Amino acid sequence: MSPSSFIPKIKVATDKCKFQGDTLLSSYTYQNALVSKDLETGIFNVEPQSTDYNFKLDLKIPKVGLMLVGLGGNNGSTVVAAVLANKHQLSFETNKGVVKPNYYGSVTQSATLKLGIDRHGSDVYAPFNDVLPLVNPNDLVVGGWDINGADLKKAMERAQVLDIDLQKKLGPYMKDIKPLPSVYYPDFIAANQDDRADNCFNRENVNGVVSTKGKWSHVEKIRSDIREFKQKNNLDKVIVLWTANTERYADVAAGVNDTAENLISSIKKDDEEVSPSTIFAVASILEKVTFINGSPQNTFVPGCIELAEINKTFIGGDDFKTGQTKLKSVLAQFLVDAGIRPISIASYNHLGNNDGYNLSSARQFRSKEISKKSVVDDMIASNKILYNEEKGNTIDHCIVIKYVPAVGDSKIAMDEYYSELMLGGHNKLVVHNTCEDSLLATPLIIDLVIMSEFLSRINYKRADETEYHDFYSVLSFLSYWLKAPLTRPGYDAINGLNKQRQGIENLMRLLIGLPALDELRFEERLV
Q: At what angle do helices 437-455 and 74-87 cross, to 10 degrees?
A: 70
What DSSP line would sit under 366-380, residue for residue? HHHHHHHHGGGHHHH
- Selecting among 146, 225, 271, 319, the annotated active-site residue is 319
Q: Is 178 tagged catalytic?
A: no
Distance CA 110, CA 93 (A): 22
- Helix or strand or coil: residue 216? helix
Q: Is 169 tagged catalytic?
A: no
Q: Is 319 tagged catalytic?
A: yes
Q: Is 483 tagged catalytic?
A: yes
Q: By the 8 A CB rule, do 93 and 162 touch?
A: no
- Selecting among 411, 415, 437, 447, the annotated active-site residue is 411
Burial (Cβ within 10 Å: 0-12, 13-18, ≥19) of residue 483 = buried
State which amino acid sits at residue 373. Answer: K
Contacts of 188-191 spanning 24+ positions with Cβ under 8 A: 188/247, 188/248, 188/250, 188/275, 188/276, 188/297, 189/245, 189/246, 189/247, 189/248, 189/358, 189/361, 189/364, 190/245, 190/357, 190/358, 190/359, 190/360, 190/361, 190/364, 191/361
| C-alpha closest to that of 276 among 224, 168, 202 | 202
Q: Residue 4: CB partners within 8 Å, gap ≥ 6? A: none
| C-alpha closest to that of 370 among 331, 431, 325 | 325
- Selecting among 153, 237, 368, 373, the annotated active-site residue is 368
Active site residues: 319, 368, 411, 483
